[in-house]
Amino acid sequence: MRVRQASFALRVVRRRAGDAAILYRRRLTASGEERLDRVAGISPLPFAAGLPLLRGAIRAIAGAGAKLTTGPFHPLDEDWGARVACYALVAAGLRNAERLHRAAANIQHADGTEAAWWLGLMARPSGKRAVRALRILVEAVR
């Protein structure tokens, strides 16, 4: 699958503190053109804690030998894109690496349809409560 065909795309960037990622989602503009819009960023600590999830998402499309490299966009399908988006929104602002790793593992094994449902709840203007609820469910917080 190419990036132009993918519903989601992940871009890995290098920062002083370490590697980070930015997740994009394909949407239609008012004029009917498709473009990638930024969903969320994954800072270096959540990136390191969620590497198995991110690698699994990349390898689901590109094959078992795919590597998470900086620079180009990595295409993601709908299920894995929703999982990574949920992880990115849940991990925003958290600093406990052990809990972030646990949250990534729980989201990795979640159903793609369920992740899409949670993403829809979190994307609403009143989505802060949904983010808090999912943080509790995936054991990112106590």
pLDDT in tens, 69-122: 998 899 999 999 999 999 999 999 999 999 999 999 999 999 999 999 999 999
Q: What distances in angstroms separate CA 47 from CA 109, 120, 127, one per listed residue?
A: 17, 22, 23
Tell me the angle at which helices 78-91 and 97-108 cross, rounded to the nearest 10 degrees. 160
User: Which is higher by pLDDT, 102 or 4?
Assistant: 102
Provide CB contacts within 8 A for 100, sequence distance 6+.
45, 46, 49, 50, 91, 94, 140
Picking from 36, 130, 45, 118, the residue whose alpha carbon sits closest to that of residue 74 is 36
138: how many CB neighbours lie within 10 A of its CB? 23
pLDDT tens digit sequence for 42-80: 999 999 999 999 999 999 988 888 888 998 899 999 999
Contacts of 90 (CB under 8 A, 6+ apart): 103, 107, 131, 134, 135, 138, 140
pTM of the model: 0.93
